[in-house]
């Protein structure tokens, strides 16, 4: 007994700093286990992390920011590939308070950008639902937000990119200059390593948000109310309950927001709050469908019938889930995925109902669902949004997930929609090709800049037929 116990104890005491493997790791990258936000899939690879992003991208197949893509977009292909981590490359290279033009290194986090820019009267032109992302990642995913119907994707506001392309050259790639620029917006990091980003910020009258919300009892009016709200409001989004069935199916809360005017906003600046970290992965069984049913019901009931209006902290409005860091751990180690699809306009009640029925018939466990109307397609050659309605569905992973995603994708293909790569982990190559008639044009640009096919990710192996 003692004999078997001792060696174990020794390995535990031995500082891992002096392992032989570790000595080598300092030079060639540390072998680490990587996952996206959804904790699935899990890939081992070698990570190089440095302030000097130019240096570490030389040998890397992909650059990775804060790894907030849900699926495998930020993961290297399986095998012993090197990935460059950008978060230490986080300098604010210029911020012109008169024009709102900002230039940052790719690892610059959105949270810092917001906290620096809001007191100066500027805000990012487009923000995703979390501020724990890098600006480089925002370009690579060409993120959209609650204001897509008026502002488009983040890429619409990018002026120029500094990139390391696959042959090792470092180039400045301005809007309109190369096809590479448009291919890189939403190109999931597969067209070159993004080193610096220059973009145009948006002026805001105050750093506060005027928010109104209303309950929508009947799913039939969700689409209309979203559309109507979009005419008057720059920020709209609809939280919807896709677990409930029967006459309450698809009930929702519609949130609308705009920047508060000086007269209505508090005089001071918003206080930046720190967010506690969810400490451990809960067991896989901890979060059950019935709990989410109750949670959704509470959320819905607590809101009350009457519309609400109030001044809101911008971080509460844009990033409600960021109040707890690592909240993805509540799903346990099984992980979760998000299926976000856009169904093109004209979107009808009938299609909305069909989609809900499809989810129900396939017993999809949709723990969280967000509905939002999209504006026009932007510059990005392969960017996700187009005019229509997008559904983002959080689904815990089990043995049934692949089948559910396949059925959803059948529907998306049939309706002429497409999916958001930043969230995806389960879509099949044939589905993706059927959704993306733009793929060949984008691939041409990609291949033109990467003739030896050096840049790749787990996602590109899964969906684009790259070799691992």
Partner 1 sequence: MNVAFLGASKGMGRSLARRMAERGDRLFLLGRDSTDLRRSAADLANLGATGEVGIAKCDLADRKTFRPALDEACDALGDIDTVVVTAGAFGQQEDLENDPEALNRLLTTNFTNTIHFCEAARGLLLERGGGRLCVFSSVAGERGRKPVILYGASKAGLSYYLEGLDHKFHDRGLIVTTVKPGFVRTGMTAGMDPPPFAGEPDDVARDVLRGIDRGQAVVYSPGIWRWVMLVIRNLPRAVMRKIGF
- Report the relative pairing of strands 193-200 and 158-164 from DSSP bridges: antiparallel
Smallest distance, Å, CB 187 to partner 1?
Answer: 25
Q: Is 91 in the site for partner 1 (CB under 8 A)?
A: yes
Looking at 18-26, 138-146, 413-421, 448-456, which segment touches partner 1 (CB under 8 A)? 18-26
Question: Would you say 29 or 378 has its CB closer to partner 1?
Answer: 29
Q: Is 303 in the site for partner 1 (CB under 8 A)?
A: no
Q: Is 101 in the site for partner 1 (CB under 8 A)?
A: no
Smallest distance, Å, CB 200 to partner 1?
Answer: 16
Smallest distance, Å, CB 161 to partner 1?
Answer: 17
Q: Is 17 in the site for partner 1 (CB under 8 A)?
A: yes
From residue 107 to residue 146, the character string flagging contacts with partner 1 as x (rule: CB under 8 A) and all else as - is ---------x------------------------------
Rounded CA separation 20/100 (Å): 49
Cis ω for the linkage preceding 41 (within 30 of 0): yes
The site for partner 1, by CB under 8 A, has a size of 30
What letters, b where the CB count within 10 A reaches 16 and e where it falls short, cover 149-166? bebbbbbbbbebbbbbbb
Q: Is 27 in the site for partner 1 (CB under 8 A)?
A: yes
Rounded CA separation 353/356 (Å): 5
Rounded CA separation 167/452 (Å): 8
Rounded CA separation 101/95 (Å): 6
Starting at the edge strand found earlier in the chain, the sheet holding 170-174 runs 92-95, 101-105, 193-200, 158-164, 170-174
For partner 1, the binding residues in 346-405 under the rule CB under 8 A are: none
Smallest distance, Å, CB 307 to partner 1?
Answer: 40
DSSP assignments along 281-294, one per residue: PPPTTSS-HHHHHH
The residue to which tokens 């932007």 are assigned: 378
Question: Would you say 88 or 358 has its CB closer to partner 1?
Answer: 88
Question: Would you say 56 or 395 has its CB closer to partner 1?
Answer: 56
Q: Is 275 in the site for partner 1 (CB under 8 A)?
A: no
CB-based contact 436:418 (threshold 8 Å): yes
For partner 1, the binding residues in 32-61 under the rule CB under 8 A are: 47-52
Q: Is 325 in the site for partner 1 (CB under 8 A)?
A: no
Rg, the chain, Cα only: 22
Residues making contact with partner 1 (CB under 8 A): 10, 13-18, 20, 22-23, 25-27, 29-30, 47-52, 85, 88, 91-95, 105, 116
């Amino acid at each position: 007994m003692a004999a078997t116990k001792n060696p174990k104890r020794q390995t535990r005491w031995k500082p891992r700093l002096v392992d032989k493997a570790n000595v080598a790791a300092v030079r060639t990258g540390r072998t680490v286990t990587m996952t996206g936000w959804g904790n699935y899939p899990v890939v081992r690879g070698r990570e190089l992390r440095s302030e000097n992003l130019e240096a570490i991208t030389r040998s890397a197949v992909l650059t990775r920011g804060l790894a907030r893509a849900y699926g495998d977009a930020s993961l290297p292909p399986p095998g012993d590939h090197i990935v460059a981590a950008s978060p230490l490359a986080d300098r604010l290279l210029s911020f012109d308070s008169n024009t709102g033009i900002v230039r940052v290194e790719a690892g610059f986090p959105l949270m810092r950008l917001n906290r620096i820019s809001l007191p100066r009267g500027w805000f990012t032109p487009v923000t995703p639902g979390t501020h724990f992302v890098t600006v480089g990642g925002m370009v690579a995913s060409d993120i959209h937000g609650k204001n897509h119907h008026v502002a488009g994707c983040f890429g619409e506001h990018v002026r120029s990119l500094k990139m390391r392309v696959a042959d090792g050259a470092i180039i400045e790639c301005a809007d309109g200059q190369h096809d590479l620029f448009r291919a890189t917006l939403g190109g999931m990091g597969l067209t070159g390593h993004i080193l610096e980003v220059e973009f145009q910020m948006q002026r805001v009258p105050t750093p506060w948000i005027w928010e109104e919300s209303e309950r929508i009892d009947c799913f039939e009016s969700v689409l209309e109310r979203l559309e109507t709200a979009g005419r008057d409001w720059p920020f709209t989004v609809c939280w919807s309950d896709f677990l409930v069935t029967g006459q309450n199916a698809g009930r929702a809360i519609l949130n609308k927001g705009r920047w508060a005017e000086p007269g209505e906003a508090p005089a001071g600046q918003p206080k930046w709050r720190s967010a506690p970290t969810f400490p451990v992965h809960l067991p896989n069984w901890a979060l059950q469908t019935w709990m989410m049913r109750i949670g959704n019901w509470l959320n819905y009931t607590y809101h009350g019938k009457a519309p609400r209006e109030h001044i809101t902290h911008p971080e509460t409005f844009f990033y409600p889930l960021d109040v707890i860091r690592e909240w993805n751990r509540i799903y346990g180690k099984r992980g979760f995925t998000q299926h976000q699809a856009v169904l093109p306009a004209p979107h009808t009640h009938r299609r909305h109902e069909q989609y809900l029925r499809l989810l129900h018939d396939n017993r999809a466990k949709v723990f969280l669902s967000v509905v939002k109307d999209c504006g026009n397609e932007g510059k990005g050659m392969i960017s996700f949004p187009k005019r229509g309605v997008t559904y983002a569905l959080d689904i815990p992973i089990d043995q049934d997930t692949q089948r559910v995603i396949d059925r959803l994708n059948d529907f998306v293909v049939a309706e002429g929609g497409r999916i958001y790569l930043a969230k995806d982990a389960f879509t099949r190559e044939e589905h993706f090709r059927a959704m993306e008639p733009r793929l060949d044009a984008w691939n041409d640009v990609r291949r033109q800049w990467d003739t030896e096919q050096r840049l790749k990710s787990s996602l590109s192996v899964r969906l684009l037929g790259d070799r691992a």
